[in-house]
Amino acid sequence: MKKILIEDKGITLIEIIIVIAIVGIVSTAIYAAYFDSTRVWFFNKERIEVQQAQDIIQSWFANYIRQAKKITIAEDYLGVTDNDYLKIETTDNIIEFYIESVNQTFVVKYNGGTAREISNLKIDSFKISEENGSIKIIAEIYNLKETQKYKFISIYYPRLLDV
């Protein structure tokens, strides 16, 4: 006959509960780290989108202001307060920059043609001033969700300025 060993033990209920608790704690930590990193990623993505919009707008200004033969600045363009109008006359073109009154987006118009949107982000205010031969532009831009506003100040030095 075969002898049955009673000394073989299985897993107790307490050991199973301890393992489940450890797995729960580790999975909770991984879950929290994942969602924190996702939140930070979205926050940085929105900031980058605003900075990219500002870079695009700034490159348009820099390109045309340096070529300007004449620069015209008008305040409160199209009846929108806190938004200015910038008209740049170069040798070949007349370029107009302003905030479109309905969507509050930044647009450019070439030679009196149709307005073209440069950025889809909402511009809260757009102020232009001439100081000591330089053009100073202050823009406040909202992120896509319109929860955060960013302020940008840019200074440009035109080569040929007839103000």
Does residue 10 belong to any structural domain of this protein? no
Residue 22: predicted pLDDT: 97
- The total of structural domains in the chain comes to 1
pLDDT above 70 covers a percentage of the chain that reads: 87
Q: Which residue has the higher pLDDT, 163 or 151?
A: 151
Does some domain include residue 39? yes
The pLDDT tens digits of the residues spanning 109-150 come to 888 888 888 877 888 888 888 888 888 888 888 887 878 888
What distance in Å separates the CA atoms of residue 142 and residue 20, rounded to the nearest whole number? 46
* Residue 97, domain member (yes or no): yes
Pick 91 or 83 by higher pLDDT: 91
**Are the C-beta atoms of 161 and 150 separated by less than 8 Å?**
no
- pLDDT mean across residues, the chain: 82
Within a domain: 17:
no
Give me the sign of the Cα torsion angle 101, 102, 107, 110: negative
Q: Model-level pTM?
A: 0.67
Dihedral sign from CA coordinates of 148, 82, 79, 105: negative
Residue 1 lies in a domain: no
Tell me whether residue 161 is in a domain: no
**98: its two tokens:** 């302003």
Q: What is the pLDDT of residues 15-55, one digit of tens each?
A: 999 999 999 999 999 999 999 999 999 888 888 888 888 88
**Cα–Cα distance for residue pair 108/60, rounded to 1 Å:** 9
With respect to residue 108, please indicate whether it lies within any of the assigned structural domains.
Answer: yes
Q: What is the pLDDT at residue 118?
A: 81
pLDDT at 16: 93
Domain assignment present for residue 75? The answer is yes
pLDDT band of residue 163 (cuts 50, 70, 90) is very low
The confidence score (pLDDT) of residue 162 equals 52
Range of the domain at 91: 31-156
